[in-house]
Amino acid sequence: MLTITQALHDSIVAHARADHPDEACGIVAGRAPAPADGRPERFIPMLNAARSPTFYEFDSQDLLRLYRELDDRDEEPVVIYHSHTATEAYPSRTDVSYAGEPNAHYVLVSTAECGNDEGPVSFRSFRIVDGEVSEEEVRIVASYEDTAPVSA
């Protein structure tokens, strides 16, 4: 299960809407080694180097800088997210082939229905290990001290 704060959820959704019609991408870092529940803490939006509505790619130099920064801060990627702009929030074959962090939560946000506007989005989380995709429950909380889910 992915437990994430309302503020982080809202930041990911806002980034997905802002970059529409191109796919948005980024990570949410947490302390390394991450707690067993994989607590996401620091939102890090990234630039989609592909600038594409059907594909995302982290810039290799940005990614190298990011991983050095994560090491310096004793953090790791807890959530790796991107958006789908015209399809459902489910990992594509390409997404699965690029999933290289077996401990990460892979969050997909579909902006197919709303685009840049306010409106419904689909926010789903998956684990992708050795090419196997499994969806997991997403629990949105006001804060990590508050374990009660936020009502939608």
Dist. CA 92–CA 82, nearest whole Å: 11
For residue 129, what are the β-bridge partners? Answer: 132
In the chain, which residue ranges form alpha helices assigned H by DSSP? Answer: 6-19, 60-72, 93-98
Q: Domain for residue 81, yes or no? A: yes
pLDDT value, residue 126:
98
Residue at 65: amino acid letter:
R
Q: Which domain holds residue 97?
A: 2-141
Dist. CA 97–CA 99, nearest whole Å: 6
Is residue 72 over pLDDT 70?
Answer: yes
Q: Domain for residue 127, yes or no? A: yes
Q: Each residue of 1-16: pLDDT tens digit?
A: 999 999 999 999 999 9
For the chain, percent of residues with pLDDT exceeding 70: 93
User: Is residue 149 classed exposed, middle or buried when 0-12, 13-18 and 19+ CB atoms within 10 A define those classes?
Assistant: middle
Q: Each residue of 43-70: pLDDT tens digit?
A: 999 999 999 999 999 999 999 999 999 9
What is the sign of the dihedral through the CA atoms of 140, 145, 147 and 152? negative
Q: Domain for residue 94, yes or no? A: yes
Q: Domain for residue 146, yes or no? A: no
Q: Domain for residue 73, yes or no? A: yes
Q: What is the CATH number of the domain that holds 8?
A: 3.40.140.10
Q: Name the domain count of the chain.
A: 1
Q: Domain for residue 147, yes or no? A: no
Structure-token match 């077996």, residue found: 102
Structure-token match 């082939």, residue found: 97
Q: Domain for residue 150, yes or no? A: no
Q: Domain for residue 151, yes or no? A: no
